[in-house]
Copies of this chain bind each other. A is one copy, B any other.
Amino acid sequence: MRTIRDIGEFGLIQQLQKQIPLAGDDCAVLPGGGLLTCDPVIENIHFLPDTPARQVGWKAMARNLSDIAAMGGQPQYAVVSLGLRPGTPVRWVRDLYAGLHAAARRFGCEIAGGDTAHVRHEQFVVVTLLGHADRPVLRSGAKPGDVVFVTGELGGSFRSGKHLRFTPRIREARWLVEHVRVHAMIDVSDGLASDLRRLVEASHVGFNIASAKIPGKLPGALTDGEDFELLFTVAPREADKVQRKFYEIGRVIKKPVVLLDGAPLSAKGYDHFA
């Protein structure tokens, strides 16, 4: 019997997408421009038992804010589902909520409700966000010739602790959708190599990335994951407006492959089930 380990996270998501017509992007896009997204944060995977609860809360909210940013959207309301061990200090839960609230408020979002349940082993936090975008930016719009950008430094997020206190790129995304026509966008959550492949699959185009232009040390900048920077493409005529603010890292090509300095790059990004 095939298990999730056998087909990996990509394989599983591809299977599930056949059953979910609106899925396949960082958020579900609802009629009228509504955005709905949820993302679990789990003990021993996304945080450790001794990670300060406030940082766990910040991360759980910020990951979802990052998904709204990746659509060029504005977050509006959140609900929070907690799986907690009975022996957890009440103080821990209060601190967790302080982190959740801090991240939400900073980006104009309100926590509207939540629920809790009992777990025996790994605690978890699932934040669901409702947001809005007048014209949601999808993963599927990249065109050959487009210039490829990222909003910030990639790699080393676990080592540096950035994964617990990163700034979701809501403001950068809002600037982008107001000033240029972004063709395709995604947040780099599983590593540049892996998330470029997602754009390949959605846009049916390829990428040629210049290693020297990637902001961050290789190979970590390609594969570490949890960077939560935005990766996006714009038409060449709009590139110079963007160059002043963000990092140009390559070009969109016709052939649906990912190249690094012209040579094929395997997807070694983070797979949750590997």
- Using a CB–CB cutoff of 8 Å, the interface residues on chain A facing chain B are 1-7, 9, 12-13, 15-16, 19-25, 27-30, 34, 36-40, 42, 44-46, 76-77, 79-91, 93-94, 97, 101, 110-122, 124, 126, 128, 130, 272-273
Contacts and interface: CB of A to CB of B under 8 A. Distances in A.
B114 A4 contact: no
Given A29-B112, A122-B122, 16 more contacts: A4-B86, A12-B90, A16-B114, A30-B76, A30-B77, A34-B130, A36-B113, A37-B113, A38-B80, A38-B81, A40-B117, A42-B117, A45-B119, A117-B272, A118-B273, A126-B126
A46 B117 CA distance: 10
Contacts of A89: 1-4
B38 A84 contact: no
A23 B118 contact: no
6 contacts: A2-B90, A3-B87, A4-B84, A9-B116, A39-B81, A40-B117
Given A16-B97, A115-B38, A118-B273, A3 B126 contact: no
Contacts of A21: 110
A40 B273 CA distance: 21
A94 B38 CA distance: 19
A54 to B, nearest CB: 13
A26 to B, nearest CB: 9
A111 B24 CA distance: 12
Contacts of A93: 4, 12, 15-16
B28 A79 contact: yes
A22 to B, nearest CB: 4
A91 B272 CA distance: 18
A241 B15 CA distance: 48
B112 A28 contact: yes
A19 B87 contact: no
Contacts of A20: 111-114
B4 A112 contact: no
